[in-house]
């Protein structure tokens, strides 16, 4: 089974899935919890009401494999585990979810499908200034993060001297960096690379050598009846090039 590692170039494709289950005709639904705020893996477009991204494509593929139709349930990084453990709310959570010990205690991960790690995202002018944790962990340096995820936890644990700002909207962070509202963001290298490609003036700092080793996987409720079927599907999707195809549509 191959696990994809992050590459460095990015482009956007227009594939998407409707957020409205009434627009589809399922015989059975696969309820997929996703944050919709983490490109290139999951994005909810409020203008179209559609979800797009690598893991949205994978969710559609999984649903078809199971003979179901994917229905996307909006969650947040703060409420993800609560939503997943609420009976009947979500069959699976997908969308750039890092494997952590705390999440493993509460739910069931698949095998990992993506490897990357935490790296700085900053403006081109500041790239050389924020190469190391020592350079970043200085009073007066401002870091901006979304609430409740592993980025937030990393900064609180490893960068205690910085000024941390929490953004209620992860998709607004990149404009705030460009506007000088914060010096940098610490995020997964896949997001840093992708967003740098979408926002001239931003740069992913050494994404090939991140500060941490991180694995992404899909997350199911404890004792889910779907666990074995999802594991078998993922092994096949990684082995036959399905995931690689979706990955390179977004990161190529």
> Could you report the average pLDDT of every consecutive run of 10 residues in the chain (252 residues)?
44 39 60 96 95 98 97 96 97 96 97 96 97 98 92 96 92 94 97 95 97 96 97 98 96 82
- Burial string for 88-116 (b: 16+ CB within 10 Å, else e) reads eebbbbbbbbbbeeebeeebbbbebbbbb
CATH class of domain segment(s) 118-204: alpha beta
Q: Look-up: residue for tokens 């493993």?
A: 104
**Domains 4-114+214-250 and 118-204 agree in fold:** yes
- Give one DSSP letter per residue of 127-189, joined into a string: GGGGSSHHHHSSTT-EEEEESSSHHHHHHHHH-TTSEEEEES-GGGHHHHHHTTS-SEEEEEH
The domain spans of the chain are 4-114+214-250, 118-204
Query: What span, in angstroms and rounded, lies between the C-alpha atoms of 36 and 187?
Result: 16
- Burial string for 54-77 (b: 16+ CB within 10 Å, else e) reads bbbbbbbbbbebbebbbbbbebbb
The pLDDT value recorded for residue 3 is 58
Q: Which CATH superfamily is domain 4-114+214-250 in?
A: Periplasmic binding protein-like II (3.40.190.10)
CA dist 247 → 22, 108, 143, 200 (Å): 28, 24, 29, 22
The pLDDT value recorded for residue 9 is 30
**If you count them, how many residues does the chain have?**
252
The pLDDT value recorded for residue 173 is 93
The pLDDT value recorded for residue 4 is 55
The pLDDT value recorded for residue 219 is 98
Query: What span, in angstroms and rounded, lies between the C-alpha atoms of 248 and 252?
Result: 5
The pLDDT value recorded for residue 140 is 97
The pLDDT value recorded for residue 170 is 82
């Amino acid at each position: 089974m191959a696990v994809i590692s992050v590459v460095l170039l990015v482009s956007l494709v227009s594939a998407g899935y409707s957020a409205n289950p009434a627009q589809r005709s399922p015989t059975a639904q696969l309820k997929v919890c996703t944050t919709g705020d983490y490109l290139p893996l999951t994005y909810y477009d409020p203008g179209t009401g559609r979800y797009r991204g690598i893991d949205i494509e994978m969710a559609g593929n999984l649903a078809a494999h199971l003979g179901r139709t994917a229905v996307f349930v909006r969650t947040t990084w703060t409420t993800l585990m609560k939503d997943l453990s609420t009976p009947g709310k979500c069959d699976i959570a997908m969308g750039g979810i890092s494997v952590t010990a705390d999440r493993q205690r509460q739910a069931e991960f698949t095998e990992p499908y993506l490897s990357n790690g935490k790296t700085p995202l900053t403006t081109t002018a500041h790239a050389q200034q924020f190469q190391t944790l020592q350079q970043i962990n200085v009073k007066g340096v401002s870091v901006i993060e979304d609430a409740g995820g592993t980025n937030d936890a990393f900064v609180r644990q490893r960068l205690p001297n910085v000024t941390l700002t929490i953004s209620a909207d992860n998709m607004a962070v990149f404009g705030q960096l460009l506007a000088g509202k914060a010096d940098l963001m610490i995020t997964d290298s896949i997001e840093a690379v992708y967003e740098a490609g979408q926002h001239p003036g931003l740069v992913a700092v050494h994404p090939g050598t991140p500060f941490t080793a991180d694995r992404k996987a899909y997350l199911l409720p404890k004792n889910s009846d779907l666990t074995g079927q999802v594991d078998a599907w993922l092994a096949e999707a990684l082995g036959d090039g399905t995931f690689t195809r979706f990955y390179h549509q977004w990161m190529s």
